[in-house]
Chains A and B, each alone.
Chain A
Amino acid sequence: MTQSNTVEEIVSQPYKYGFITEIETEKIPKGLNEDVIRLISAKKNEPDFLLKFRLRAYKQWLKMKEPDWSGLTYSKVDYQDLVYYAAPKQDIKKKSLDEVDPKLLETFEKLGIPLSEQKRLSNVAVDAVFDSVSIATTYKEKLAEHGVIFCSISEAISEYPNLIEKYMGTVVPINDNFFAALNSAVFSDGSFVYIPKGVECPMELSSYFRINSGDTGQFERTLIIAEEASSVSYLEGCTAPMFDTNTLHAAVVELVALDNASIKYSTVQNWYAGNEEGVGGIYNFVTKRGECRGKKSKISWSQVETGSAITWKYPSCVLQGDNSIGEFYSIALTNNCQKADTGTKMIHIGKNTKSKIVSKGISAGQSKNSYRGLVSISPNAEGSRNYSQCDSMLIGDKASANTYPYIQSKQPQSNIEHEASTCRISEDQLFYLQSRGIDFEESVSMLVSGFCSDVFNELPMEFASEADKLLALKLEGSVG
């Protein structure tokens, strides 16, 4: 049908962030062994406990096998052919932004993340990570006034080793899975957030991850701790240049919410997806998990996944504290040869715990988009409830969508609801919009936005319109 062909043309539009920044980079030689891990740790002046943590993880990793249960097929990564540490050459510690290489500032500005004092966003603090290192964090002082710590994980390791030692690896253990073990051994940088007791973080916190080098694996590590009765909203953005080789991105994110604390974690993932034939692009193999350790605590994940050749991630909530709440709101848009296998796990352990899952998958081209999720209710989780809704939209007739909801309940007094639907962009809806003067492209993107609106409503304000634009951009192109 010509109509759907045109829709397919629309969803294929060039990647806007594919440029490379020419900058002198310090890289260590390719390959992975104990010495490399010692070298990374030494470069970062890490305390002994952390080196030991890395080495333990490495030993575990050696014993583990790359998983293949998902049915995702990809050319396997040669782990000895990757660089595990790359950093733009500059003086070790930057006091102020003026000292940061202007090229780096320019790069982030081009990506829509201005860092300089005049231009930076007024209500969002940003930690900008370039390849393996954090180059700048804005509004640190202002946050410090409230006792909020927001800095790179490297800085946190040297400044707040007690917090790191207490929490790192407690949500995602080093042997959790193959990629988490690898990350634990070689992670380079990432963000650290600590919200003290009773504090409501005064602004949005945000990390922006940029992969620049082609043969470098990106292994960032994020740790967010919300003490009793505190709250924070954090968001994460990612882009990478276009390379015809596949770059591995294996991050670990750990969230800890104590009594009455709340963490909202939002992601807009727009890593390079590879070309139309599926050459190149990022392998996005990420472990994200949050623990509601305290009573009445709440963790809410929202994600807009538009990039990467392969996305394989399940941001999860372990609902330990009684009356705690877990939420997962997801939009995954795949096109061309992209594959996404994403979803969540809601593990109900405490009494009266609640979880809600809303997933919207949009597949175009020949892409494959799967929702995979687990709702598990343990014997002690009396009075627990879950509601899941998984909707898929197909564009064209070569794309596929799957839903794999796993439900395990060992508690008869629990309540689990699941709804799922699959639809195509309807010709009648398109014609209705067009017959009001709205052009085809805009009509398609309006319908897609409408389909995703339940999730957009959950994104932080500044961010919702950005995400909407990103989807529109992905759906934009030249129509004949």
Chain B
Amino acid sequence: MISSTSETILSIKDLHASVEDQEILHGVNLIVKEGEIHAIMGRNGSGKSTLSKVIAGHPSYKVLSGSIQFKGKDILELEPEERARIGIFLGFQYPVEIPGVSNLEFLRVATNSRRKELLKSELDTFEFEDLVKERLKIVEMNPTFLERSVNEGFSGGEKKRNEILQMALLEPVISILDETDSGLDIDALRIVASGINRLSQPNAATILITHYQRLLNEITPDFVHIMADGKIIKTGNKELAIDLEKSGYDFIDTNTKEKEMAK
């Protein structure tokens, strides 16, 4: 699927970012092209989640220097909703509960805001119900989830499936899935992974942020990046993930030490 003529979707250069006045990202570089699946792995606190929130535009995270371009356009000045509308999707590690807001209505408003951007007609309640029922199959969700409040009382697995449902409806250009596999049992993992695979498009890309190799058994990444201390310190193919699984994160430390020594 990847060819040398593939368009670059996301280009991150020397990105430094902080939260609560503490610098977390110390110069991240990453290029993601059409059709690619990237995995970013690393320990807790290595900056993986921060990177995803910075790309999506969370107001608590400040970009200190560097750039993020989406299809050649700088997005740092865009509001989170504007980033979402042009096709940047963040699948949350911990999707929040929003009591009293109907999941169906939320999904409809979100879908329509993306469709508007794509110059597609907005869907009324009935049209949307048809669409959402079709997409529910991708994540094997029961339609009763639509009647409930957004994520309220959902189990961990249901919340993650609801995230993938949103991805299916918004048809993003780049999906950043932050530890979508965490807290899932084997069945839920399989459903979520197959959903992600079914949704992959030649003109779109995916970044999987994960702790473990197990998601990568279901979804084969083109690139695996290892993050430590706010930087991508190593990039390879899926073998890298397997090495990591075998020898644990200590192997990064050894590698890094070697590098430091070489300096």
Contacts and interface: CB of A to CB of B under 8 A. Distances in A.
6 contacts: A429-B96, A431-B56, A436-B166, A437-B84, A446-B98, A449-B101
Nearest to B80: A434
A437 B59 contact: no
Interface residues of B, number: 28
A426 interface: yes
A432 interface: yes
A437 B170 contact: yes
Contact of A452 (B81, B100, B106): B100
Interface in A422-480: 426-429, 431-440, 442-443, 446-447, 449-454
B37 to A, nearest CB: 21
Given A429-B96, A449-B101, A450-B101, A436 B60 contact: no
B99 to A, nearest CB: 6
B101 A432 contact: no
A475 to B, nearest CB: 14
A3 interface: yes
B236 to A, nearest CB: 30
Nearest to B58: A431
A3 B98 CA distance: 19
- Among A433, A437, A447, max chain B CB count under 10 A is at A437
Interface of A: 2-3, 426-429, 431-440, 442-443, 446-447, 449-454
Contacts of A429: 96, 98
B110 A437 contact: yes
Interface string B100-116: 11000010011001100
Contacts of B60: 427
Given A434-B81, A434-B84, A437-B84, A447 B101 contact: yes
Contact of B81 (A426, A437, A447, A450): A437
B81 A439 contact: yes
Given A431-B58, A450-B149, A437 B117 contact: yes
B99 A451 contact: yes
Contacts of A454: 100
Contact of A437 (B95, B114, B149): B114
Contacts of A431: 56, 58-59, 80
Nearest to B114: A437
B76 to A, nearest CB: 16
Contacts of B98: 429, 432-433, 446-447, 450
Given A426-B96, A431-B59, A431-B80, A436 B101 contact: no
